[in-house]
A and B are shown apart, each in its own frame.
Chain A
Amino acid sequence: MILVPSTLLWAAPLVFTALGGIFSERSGVVNIGLEGLMVIGAFTAIVFNLTTYDTFGSATPWIALLVAMAAGAFFSLFHAVASITFRADHTVSGVAINLLATGLTLFLVKLIYDKGETGIISKGFSKVDIPVLKDIPVIGKIFFQDTYWTSFLAILVAIIVWYVVFKTPFGLRLRSVGEHPMAADTMGINVTKMRYLGVLLSGALGGLGGGVYAQSITSNFSHSTISGQGFMALAAMIFGKWHPLGALGAAIFFGFAQSISIIGSSLPFLKEIPSVYLLIAPYVLTILALTGFIGRADAPKAVGTHYIKGSR
Chain B
Amino acid sequence: MSKRLRSILTPVIAVLLGILVGTIIMIVSGYDPIAAFTALWNGAFGDIYYIGEVVRQFTPYILAGLAVAFAFRVGLFNIGVEGQFLVGWLAAVWVGVAFDLPRVIHLPLAILAAIVAGALWAFIPGLLKARFRVHEVIVTIMMNYVALHLSNYIIRNVISHKGDNTGPIHKSATLRSEWLESLTDYSRLHWGIILAILSCFVMWFLLERTTRGFELRSVGFNQHAAHYAGMNVNKNIILSMLISGAFAGLAGAMEGLGTFEYAAVKGGFSGVGFDGIAVALLGGNTALGVFFSAILFGVLKVGALNMPLEAGVPNELVDIIIALIVFFVASSYIIRVFLDRISKKEVK
Measuring CB to CB, which residues of chain A are less than 8 angstroms from any residue of chain B? 30, 32, 78, 82, 85-89, 91-93, 95-100, 102-104, 106-107, 110-111, 223-224, 227-228, 231-232, 234-235, 238, 274, 276, 279-280, 282-284, 286-287, 290-292, 299
B260 on the A face (CB < 8 A): no
Known A82-B330, A274-B153, A290-B135: A92·B141 in contact at CB below 8 Å: no
A247 to chain B, nearest CB (A): 14
Instruction: Given A99-B319, A228-B268, answer yes or no on A89-B149 (Cβ-Cβ < 8 Å).
Output: no
CB atoms of B323 and A103 under 8 A apart: yes
CA distance A93 to B157 in the complex (A): 38
B150 to chain A, nearest CB (A): 7
Evaluate contact between B330 and A107: CB separation under 8 angstroms: no
User: Would you list 11 pairs from A and B whose C-beta atoms are within 8 A, ordered by A residue?
Assistant: A32-B79, A86-B333, A95-B326, A99-B322, A107-B316, A111-B29, A228-B268, A283-B145, A287-B134, A287-B138, A290-B139
Nearest-neighbour CB distance to chain B for A261, whole angstroms, equals 9
Asked, given contacts A91-B77, A227-B268, A283-B142, whether A96 binds B317 with beta carbons under 8 Å apart, the answer is no
A88/B277 in contact, CB under 8 A: no
Chain A CB within 8 A of B267 CB: yes
User: Is B327 a contact of A78 with CB atoms below 8 Å?
Assistant: yes
Contact between B277 and A292, CB atoms less than 8 A apart: no
Given contacts A96-B327, A110-B314, A111-B29, contact A103 B128 (CB under 8 A): no
**Chain B hits for A88, CB < 8 A:** 327, 330-333
> Which residues on B sit within 8 Å (CB–CB) of A111?
29, 314
5 closest A-B pairs by beta carbon, nearest first, are A103-B319, A99-B323, A100-B323, A88-B330, A86-B331
Q: In the complex the two chains form, is B79's CB within 8 Å of A95's CB?
A: yes
**Chain B binding surface SS class:** helix
Residues of B within 8 A of A290 (CB): 128, 132, 134-135, 138-139
Q: Contacting A280 at CB < 8 Å: which of B145, B318, B323?
A: B145
Given known A93-B327, A103-B322, contact A276–B145 (CB-CB < 8 A): no
Would A103 and B143 count as touching, CB distance under 8 A?
no
A32 touching B137, Cβ below 8 Å: yes
Q: B121-165 vs A: 1/0 string, CB under 8 Å?
A: 000000010001011011101111110011011000100000000
Q: At the interface, yes or no: B117 with Cβ under 8 Å from chain A?
A: no
- Chain B residue at smallest Cβ distance from A279: B149
Q: Taking A287-B128, A287-B139, A287-B142 as contacts, is the C-beta distance between A96 and B316 under 8 angstroms? A: no
Cβ of B150 and Cβ of A276 under 8 Å apart?
yes
* New A-B pairs, 12, CB < 8 Å, besides A223-B268, A287-B139: A88-B327, A93-B327, A95-B79, A99-B326, A104-B323, A106-B314, A107-B25, A110-B314, A276-B150, A280-B150, A283-B142, A284-B142
Q: With an 8 A cutoff between CB atoms, is B324 at the interface? A: yes
- CA of A227 to CA of B134 in the docked complex: distance in angstroms? 25
A292 to B144, CA, bound (A): 20
Instruction: Establish whether residues A91 and B139, one from each chain, have CB atoms under 8 Å apart when the complex forms.
Output: no
A86 to B267, CA, bound (A): 35
- Contacting residues, chain B, for A87 (C-beta < 8 A): 331, 333-334
In contact, A238 and B320 (Cβ under 8 angstroms) = no
Q: Does B302 contact A (CB under 8 A)?
A: no
Residue positions of B touching A, CB distance < 8 A: 25, 29, 77, 79, 128, 132, 134-135, 137-139, 141-146, 149-150, 152-153, 157, 267-268, 274, 277-278, 281, 314, 316-320, 322-324, 326-327, 329-334
Q: In the docked arrangement, what's the CA distance between A234 and B278, Å?
A: 22
Known contacts A100-B327, A238-B138: A276-B267 contact under CB 8 Å = no
Contacts of A282 in B (CB 8 A): 145
Set of chain B residues within 8 Å of A224, measured between Cβ atoms = 267-268
Q: Say whether, besides A286-B138, A299-B135, A96 and B333 are in contact (CB < 8 Å).
A: no
A193 CB to nearest chain B CB (Å) = 19
Bound complex: CA A89 to CA B75 (Å): 12
Cα A30 to Cα B136 in complex, Å, equals 13
Q: Distance in Å from the Cβ of A34 to the closest Cβ of chain B?
A: 11
In the complex the two chains form, what is the Cα distance from A28 to B278 in whole Å?
A: 24
Given A91-B137, A283-B145, A287-B142, residue A106 in contact with residue B316 (CB < 8 A): yes
Instruction: Determine the chain A residues whose CB is within 8 A of the CB of B153 once the complex forms.
Output: 274, 276
Residue of B at shortest CB range from A104? B320
Output the least CB separation between B337 and chain A (Å): 9
Please measure, in the bound complex, the distance between the C-alpha atom of A86 and the C-alpha atom of B146, giving whole angstroms: 34
Tell me if A93 and B146 are in contact (CB < 8 A).
Answer: no
State whether B135 touches A228 (Cβ < 8 A).
no
Q: Which of A82, A104, A231, A284 lies in contact with B141, CB distance below 8 A?
A: A231
Assess whether B278 is in contact with A99, with CB atoms less than 8 Å apart: yes
Residue from A103, A111, A291, A292 whose CB has the most chain B CB atoms within 10 Å: A103
Of residues B134, B153, B330, which shows the largest number of chain A Cβ atoms within 10 Å of its Cβ? Answer: B330
- Inside 8 A of A231's CB, which chain B residues have their CB? 141-142, 144-145
* Contact, CB under 8 Å: B135 / A280: no
User: Closest Cβ of chain B: how far from A198's Cβ, in Å?
Assistant: 19
Instruction: For B278, list chain A residues within 8 Å (CB).
Output: 95, 99
Q: Which of A32, A78, A234, A276 has the most CB of B within 10 A?
A: A276
User: Within 8 Å CB of A286, what residues of B?
Assistant: 138, 142
Docked CA distance A106–B149 (Å): 25
Report whether A234 and B268 are in contact in the complex, using a CB–CB cutoff of 8 Å.
no
Residues of A within 8 A of B77 (CB): 89, 91
Q: Are A284 and B146 in contact (CB under 8 A)?
A: yes
Which of the listed residues A85, A91, A274, A282 has the most CB atoms from chain B within 10 Å of its own CB?
Answer: A91
Q: Once the chains are docked, how many angstroms separate the CA of A103 from the CA of B271?
A: 12
Bound Cα distance from A86 to B277, whole angstroms? 19
Q: For residue A238, which residues in chain B have a CB less than 8 angstroms away from its CB?
A: 138
Residues of chain B with a CB closer than 8 A to A107's CB:
25, 29, 314, 316-317, 319-320
